[in-house]
Every structure is written in C-alpha cells, then in structure tokens.
Amino acid sequence: MRDLLIEKMYEITKKPYQKFFKKGIPWKETPNDLINYQQDSLGFHLGCFLLKYNFEMQPKLEDHDVIHVLTNTGVSVVDEIAMQYFLLGNGKKSAYLFMVICIGTVFYPTQIKHFIYNYNRGKKAHQFHDLDFYKMLTIPVKTIQSTFNIK
C-alpha cells in the first residue's frame, strides 16, 4: 500500500516538476538509439536499463535514469528513496529531493540504515549529479564511475 501511494504521488507531481523546475532540452534519443552506442558506453548501458524495465525516457528527466545506471540502483520505491539519499550526500538540493526523503523516511523507517548507507555512498563520490550527461553518452560507464568515485 505504501508503494502504491508513493507511486501515485510521483505520477501526480511528475508533470509539474518537468514543466516548472527542470530546465534544458529533452533528449532526442530513444532506448533503441542508445543501444547502438559502444557496449561499454553510458549510452548503451542507459538504453539497456530502459529496455530492461520497459521504461520510456521522460523529457527533461533523463538524468534520473542515468543516475540509476551510474549508481547501480534498482527501481523499487525503496531503491528510489535510497537514490535520493545518495544524491543528497552527493550535494544535490531540491524541493523534490527533500520531499521524497521526508516522505520516504516516514513511510519506511525500517530502511533508515539502508538510506544512510546510500547517503554516505553519495558523500564519498565526487560531485557528479549536476553534469551534462548527454555529452557523456559515449564515455565508458566504468570510466565515469572510477573518475567520480561512484561505488
């Protein structure tokens, strides 16, 4: 029930967040375009991630899926909350992030150790949450992870 409620909240807030808070131009690539990149590249891994979960790229929210790939984070509700903790540790600050963390912590208090672990992972990584990932699609994932100490 908690998962369903949080997923519904995401669906309700996604469009206004895209429209009013996210800047930039939506990417033109589709998952099928991305899997044509070299097999070690961020683009290829992003395409595989999207196809594996049958996801479509959300305009102006493409970075979110890139973060999943780079941090090797799953897509369950708890994983999504943990990823926001990771991003907080990495220096990201946004109203949306704080909302997810607050609601997630209240709804999943038994996961607090998991959330704190991911916060610390984010602190240990060099700041990368604000990079232009579109320009990095050809770079090998392992190179990005090692350069930014993403464990």
> Domain limits at 125?
2-9+29-147
pLDDT band at 20 (very low <50, low <70, confident <90, very high): low
Is 20 among the domain residues? no
What's the CA gap between 134 and 28, in Å, rounded? 10
pLDDT in tens, 35-55: 999 999 999 999 999 999 999
E-assigned strand segments in the chain: none
pTM comes to 0.89
Q: What's the number of domains the chain is made of?
A: 1
Backbone angles phi, psi at 122, to 5 degrees: -65, -35
What's the CA gap between 62 and 26, in Å, rounded? 8
Please report, as a single letter, which amino acid is at residue 44.
F
Is 22 among the domain residues? no
pLDDT in tens, 109-146: 999 999 999 999 999 999 999 999 999 999 999 999 99
